[in-house]
Structure 1
């Protein structure tokens, strides 16, 4: 089951993994379809859905192996 997390929580996970990002950058990437772990839905304003399992997989694929 996919759990939806907030942009803030996603940025915290990304920073903990060593990625230099912020909420504005993450949300812009979601709006542009750059990131495969979430989506941006246009209502009156954008709503962001970030799937924790897909985010964790994306991070793991890009993390340096020790």
Structure 2
């Protein structure tokens, strides 16, 4: 059986990142997703404005990986 991917918005994702020590604005996160800097989301252009999909499990995995890097120095 396939897992359901939980999708959150930019504001919630940026809040989670800030709560985990990253200084990031909503706009910076949008730009990073569009430029494919952050692998935990996608930007889909439907009309003139992109729609952002942030995948919560991938975001949490990305945070955990960076937390391990900091802890291990």
TM over 0.5: yes
Residue among 13, 35, 45 paired with 2:16: 13
- Which structure's CA Rg is the greater one? 2
Q: Which runs of 4+ in 1 moved over 3 A?
A: none
**TM-score, scaled to structure 1:** 0.93
Task: Tell me, in whole angstroms, the C-alpha distance in 1 between the residues paired with 2:71 and 2:50.
Answer: 35
Residue among 55, 65, 71 paired with 1:65: 71
User: Aligned residues, how many?
Assistant: 66
| Higher RCO (Cα < 8 Å, 6 or more apart) | 1
Shift of 1:56: 0.1
Residue among 6, 31, 36 paired with 2:34: 31
What RMSD over aligned residues (CA atoms) do the two structures have, in Å?
Answer: 1.2
Question: Which segments of 5 or more consecutive residues in structure 2 lack a partner in the other structure?
Answer: none
Question: Which segments of 5 or more consecutive residues in structure 1 lack a partner in the other structure?
Answer: none
Shift of 1:65: 2.6
